[in-house]
């Protein structure tokens, strides 16, 4: 019976309360992060039950599984509805959701959001304005944001796009201590642009 049970289940079980998360893998499918059917919401004739302490209790009628959960003061939770038969776990579902939501919030706080700041240049930009744009870009890059430098060609300047490429090249070189270009300058219509990403040792 044990061998047959092992052949049926392709699963890895890690179950603990407190600071640890409770995860059940059934055929390499983890517990959903969405709300799961519990107790009277479960509508199947029989289930494979995992006990409150993580023990395998085998296949039984749904009402028997619910009786077990009730006797242990916990919920009956359907964690693998597509398995044959569906798998239920006896657990404190309120506590499980609390721990899950807490971990999700902590993970979101650790996410790094990279913004792209745009800096406008021109083919005939003067030295002072150019230095001002460079200083702005250095500030953005040192803060962990990307910088998109854009040159807009006006009128006959479209016949001399090499002038815009020259300005962008100087801008890229002036920012080289703080960031590096993701790719070569791109010409789209009347606009030439380049995106500079912050160096890892500069981003905060």
Same domain assignment for residues 84 and 124 = no
Range of the domain at 180: 116-198
Percent of the chain, pLDDT > 90? 60
Same domain assignment for residues 87 and 133 = no
- Indicate whether 128 belongs to any domain: yes
21 has a pLDDT exceeding 60: no
State the Cα–Cα distance between residues 159 and 161, nearest whole angstrom. Answer: 6
pLDDT tens digits, one per residue of 24-78: 444 433 444 457 889 999 999 999 999 999 999 999 999 999 999 999 999 999 9
- The CATH number covering residue 180 comes to 3.30.110.10
pLDDT tens digits, one per residue of 163-186: 999 999 999 999 999 999 999 999
For residue 160, give both structure tokens: 């001399």
Q: Strand, coil or helix: what is 201?
A: coil
Same domain assignment for residues 131 and 178 = yes
> Do 179 and 198 meet the contact criterion of CB atoms below 8 Å apart?
yes
| Alpha carbon of residue 118 to chain centroid | 25
Question: pLDDT at position 15, please?
Answer: 38
For residue 58, give both structure tokens: 């085998």
Evaluate the CA torsion angle 15, 20, 21, 27 in order and state its sign.
Answer: negative
For residue 156, give both structure tokens: 């006959």
Total structural domains within the chain: 2
Same domain assignment for residues 99 and 138 = no
1 has a pLDDT exceeding 50: no
User: How many residues belong to the chain?
Assistant: 204
């Amino acid at each position: 019976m044990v061998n047959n049970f092992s052949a049926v289940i392709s699963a890895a079980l890690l179950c603990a309360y407190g600071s640890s998360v409770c995860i059940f893998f059934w055929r390499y499918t983890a517990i959903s992060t969405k709300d799961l059917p519990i107790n009277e919401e479960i509508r199947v004739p029989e289930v494979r039950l995992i006990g409150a302490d993580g023990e395998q209790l085998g296949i039984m009628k749904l009402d028997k599984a619910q009786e077990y959960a009730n006797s242990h003061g916990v919920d009956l939770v359907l964690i693998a509805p597509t398995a044959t038969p569906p798998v239920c776990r006896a657990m404190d579902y309120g506590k499980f959701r609390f721990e899950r939501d807490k971990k999700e919030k902590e993970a979101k706080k650790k996410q790094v959001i990279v913004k792209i700041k745009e800096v406008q240049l021109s083919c005939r930009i003067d030295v002072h304005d150019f230095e001002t744009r460079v200083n702005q870009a250095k500030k953005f890059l040192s803060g962990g944001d990307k910088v998109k430098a854009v040159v807009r060609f006006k009128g006959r300047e479209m016949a001399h796009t090499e002038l815009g490429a020259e300005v962008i090249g100087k801008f890229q070189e002036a920012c080289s201590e703080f960031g590096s270009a993701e790719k070569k300058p791109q010409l789209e219509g009347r606009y030439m642009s380049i995106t500079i990403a912050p160096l890892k040792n500069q981003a905060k």
